Structure 1
Amino acid sequence: MAIQKQEFIERMKRLQASVRLSELEAFLVTAQDSIFYLTGVTYSPLERPFFILVRPDTGVVLLAPTLDRDHLASAPNVDEVRAYWDYPSPPGLGWSDGLLELVAGIRLLGVEPSLTQEIAQVISAWQPQAVPLIERLRLVKSADEVAMLRQAASYADLGMQKIIQAAYYGVSEIEIFSQGRAVQIQIIKETEFDPLNTSVLTAAWPARLGTQPHGVPSIADRLKDGPHIGLSFLRANGYAAECERTFFVTSPSQNMSEMFTLMLEARNRAFALIRPGVPCAEIDRAANGFLRQEGLGDYLLHRTGHGFGLGNHEGPWVAEGSPDVLEENMLISVEPGLYIPGLGGFRHSDTVLVTSDGYESLTRYPTEIEALTLLARRSMTRLRGALVRKAVGVA
């Protein structure tokens, strides 16, 4: 499974049409994901910048370091590949010299909003316009992209399955982290594996970090009382997905069960609105607005969701203030969360496809509290966990 050559050709044509509609003479592409999106060529820039100059009606030119020139020449939709020496380079041979030559004579130049300050300073005399042309192209996915995202979501589900199977009272964080290796092996075995565009994270946020959803667990953390948030967060061969579940390794208290139920209801209210033509801000108001009506506004820390594609976080943004409106073949997360000091965090997240008349959740791991309350002793799992801890020196 992979994106076909013709799709990359069509993507470049669509970008050229966008440049024309924006009344620009040229558009400079610099972001790694943007170049991958347009060409399908896997590369790692490290410190060396890469550039594609796209004009509406003439050939596409790519500028790359010399050691990457031949590799980038495999792009199916680039007419000319130029090279600079290295980073840094002697005067006259560096990327800035090549870039100035590339944009010479252009009066109306567009650039990506993510353009680095280092590059912006070199072309400041052009007064370039930052325009999210590629971000707009990436919002709605093609059939092949949906297939790639569906595949990524299946591995996100697998990661969550591994997390839940590894969990027991007192399990260490390193045991949960180690489950990601099994998922990566499956990706290698079953797909056209792209090592530079694949990453897998399996983790569990312990109750002590329940109010810090972007905190970092210690590998020695142990999961005991309270709600824990399992995260299966990955990118498989360039396309991203996630599955998150709140789970328990002891019987949840009545208060925990009530917060879990309210979180599920907020999700249900979001799901009920997902279909083409619905503003993303309306979905956020339905989910987080419900939690605020229940008197829980002080325990909200974030929007209801975000988009997926090449990135784990990209548009459309399911948030109040977002101008995005859902269209068929967009991908979003649904993840309203509650973060209550002294109690913990409550959040599920799914990777969701917008269909012609509604939605399809591409991640399908069980969501109900009964399936996510893990009380079995799991003697063999504990033994395997002890071996993992011993191997990495965690007591």
Structure 2
Amino acid sequence: MSDALLSKTDRLEIGADEYRLRRERVFRLLAEREIDALCVFGPTRVAYLSGFFFSPTERPVALVLTADGRVAALLPNLELSHFQQQGPKLDDSAMYPEYPGGGSGRHPLLFLRDLLSRLGALGKKIAADVDGYEHRWGYRGPALSAVLEQPVHADVALIDDLRMVKSAAEIALMTEACRWGDHAHRLMQDSIRVGSEELLISHGASLQATRDLLAELGGRYVPKAREGLPANAMFIRGSNTAHPHGLHEAGAVALGDVLVTGAYGVVGGYESELERTMIVGEPDAEFQRYFAAMLAAQQVGFDALRPGRTCAEAESDVRRFIRDELGMDDLVRHHTGHGFGLEGHEHPFLDLDDHTVIEPGMVFSVEPGLYVPEFAGFRHSDTVVITVSGMEQLSLYSRELDDLVVAG
């Protein structure tokens, strides 16, 4: 089938019907909580509910949903045609010329106040994900409650709780994203040599993986961002890996370097996550000891995930194993994992203080790490989906040491 003849159902993205069902869930939630209108400012939350993906800037965008089922939006003029191309039909809208005013003499949130007035929401119960637009790219603005001169119930959980359990369509997109994250990692691993430049190998593999993705998927692939590539891989090396989020360093790969990698795909706006610990040349006894400990801890994390347990209970299993069986609790720097989907990190978290109940359809990273100061970090991360009885890995790259040795 030629790209020109592809129907929207063939494209790798969430369809209009699912976006409509998401908004209907919000309408019911508003009615149950006796909330008259909800203002959604977070760009990812706007996209989740409307299908409108955009590049967030200093110009506020807000989606407004009302308990009686109306959909409206605050938009800068420069995004109007973009919203019309992607988003649902609106019952009302407020367009402003520019930020901070574009000659209108009015802050954009005053246009939102006018919109809420037309919707009959002023003076009634209004909620929002956050109390006003986030401060990015030089934006300055008042809280929504100050503009409206009334309380606003601000709660990110109103939308983010709905995002925790993924639909079949979301899981399919993330499964495809995992496939391309795995592919990017393979290209990168196969390109690493002693003397390789860390940055050049990382970016070269990402570009080649993206070329492969576009060649295979063609018009089925629908980009959802202005920045970044659909398939990505990177690594850091040596003692820098002892920092869980160490930055890139200039220089070349050397014999004996420990490598901690990261790779992911993005399909339909949904991400994957894959990380591996590798070694350049033959691993010595010290490396093998920590690698085996990390691998065992990750397996405990896999085994801990099943419906009905809490995130804290799963994390407790991992931390208990690292403390009591490995005697390495002092090498832990972070929790075992996190949810994700449209964002690289999403609620909930596999953390001792997150008591969210695990449900089928949730997607997590599982990535307990051990960090040995001035030596190296040891961390695998895999994308998993919760099933009715446990979990299933979506990232399929080998976890075993024999497959993660780079020839010296």
Structure 1 length-normalised TM: 0.90
In the TM superposition, structure 1's runs of 4+ consecutive aligned residues that sit over 4 Å from their partners are: 117-120
* Alignment check: 8 A CA contact 2:367 2:379 kept: yes
Paired position in structure 2 for 1:231: 262
Q: CA deviation at 1:112?
A: 1.1
Paired position in structure 2 for 1:193: 222
Q: Assess, with a 3 A threshold, how the Cα gap between structure 1 residues 6 and 176 changes in structure 2: closer, same or farther.
A: same
Task: Give the partner amino acid of 1:192.
Answer: Y
Q: 1:232, 1:109 → 2: CA distance?
A: 41
How far does the alpha carbon of each residue in 1:291-311 deviate from its partner, in whole angstroms, 9 at most, with x for none?
122221111110000011101
State which drifts further: 282-291 or 115-124: 115-124
* Alignment check: 8 A CA contact 1:280 1:324 kept: yes
The match for 2:152 among 124, 128, 138 is 128
Q: 1:195, 1:34 → 2: CA distance?
A: 14
The answer on 1:313 being equivalent to 2:335 is no
Q: CA deviation at 1:114?
A: 7.9
Q: 2:238, 2:333 → 1: CA distance?
A: 16
Q: CA deviation at 1:223?
A: 4.3
Paired position in structure 2 for 1:86: 98
Equivalenced residues, count: 376
* Alignment check: 8 A CA contact 1:172 1:223 kept: no
How far does the alpha carbon of each residue in 1:209-260 deviate from its partner, in whole angstroms, 9 at most, with x for none?
1221212112434343242111113433300111101001111111110111
Q: Assess, with a 3 A threshold, how the Cα gap between structure 1 residues 343 and 114 changes in structure 2: closer, same or farther.
A: farther
Paired position in structure 1 for 2:187: 162
* Alignment check: 8 A CA contact 1:169 1:250 kept: no
Q: 1:356, 1:153 → 2: CA distance?
A: 21
Q: Secondary structure at the match of 2:246?
A: coil
The answer on 1:369 being equivalent to 2:401 is yes
Paired position in structure 2 for 1:263: 294
Q: 2:333, 2:268 → 1: CA distance?
A: 31
How far does the alpha carbon of each residue in 1:107-156 deviate from its partner, in whole angstroms, 9 at most, with x for none?
32211148526455243232212212110111111111111111111111
Q: Secondary structure at the match of 1:42?
A: coil
Q: Assess, with a 3 A threshold, how the Cα gap between structure 1 residues 231 and 222 changes in structure 2: closer, same or farther.
A: same
* Alignment check: 8 A CA contact 1:86 1:94 kept: no
Q: Secondary structure at the match of 1:267?
A: helix
What aligned pairs does 1:284-323 form with structure 2 within 5 A after superposition? 284-293=315-324, 294-323=326-355
* Alignment check: 8 A CA contact 1:12 1:77 kept: no
Paired position in structure 1 for 2:42: 31
What aligned pairs does 1:64-213 form with structure 2 within 5 A after superposition? 64-74=75-85, 75-76=87-88, 78-89=90-101, 90-104=103-117, 105-113=122-130, 115=132, 116=134, 118-124=140-146, 125-131=149-155, 132-174=157-199, 175-189=201-215, 190=217, 191-194=220-223, 196=225, 199=229, 200-213=231-244
Q: 1:223, 1:276 → 2: CA distance?
A: 44
Task: Give the partner amino acid of 1:193.
Answer: V
Task: Tell me the C-alpha RMSD between the 2 structures.
Answer: 1.9
State which drifts further: 323-332 or 170-179: 170-179
Q: Assess, with a 3 A threshold, how the Cα gap between structure 1 residues 84 and 250 changes in structure 2: closer, same or farther.
A: same
Task: Give the partner amino acid of 1:263.
Answer: M
Q: Secondary structure at the match of 2:404?
A: coil
How far does the alpha carbon of each residue in 1:246-304 deviate from its partner, in whole angstroms, 9 at most, with x for none?
00111111111011111111111111122211211111111122112222111111000
Task: Give the partner amino acid of 1:164.
Answer: Q
Q: 2:170, 2:204 → 1: CA distance?
A: 29
Paired position in structure 1 for 2:384: 352
Q: CA deviation at 1:73?
A: 2.8
Q: Assess, with a 3 A threshold, how the Cα gap between structure 1 residues 114 and 330 changes in structure 2: closer, same or farther.
A: farther
Task: Give the partner amino acid of 2:209.
Answer: V
Q: Assess, with a 3 A threshold, how the Cα gap between structure 1 residues 3 and 58 changes in structure 2: closer, same or farther.
A: closer
Q: 2:252, 2:159 → 1: CA distance?
A: 41
Q: 1:94, 1:112 → 2: CA distance?
A: 20
Q: Assess, with a 3 A threshold, how the Cα gap between structure 1 residues 102 and 366 changes in structure 2: closer, same or farther.
A: same
Q: Assess, with a 3 A threshold, how the Cα gap between structure 1 residues 266 and 114 changes in structure 2: closer, same or farther.
A: farther
Q: Assess, with a 3 A threshold, how the Cα gap between structure 1 residues 26 and 224 changes in structure 2: closer, same or farther.
A: farther
Q: CA deviation at 1:92?
A: 4.9
Q: Assess, with a 3 A threshold, how the Cα gap between structure 1 residues 223 and 291 changes in structure 2: closer, same or farther.
A: farther
Task: Give the partner amino acid of 2:128.
Answer: V
Paired position in structure 2 for 1:334: 366
Q: CA deviation at 1:76?
A: 2.3
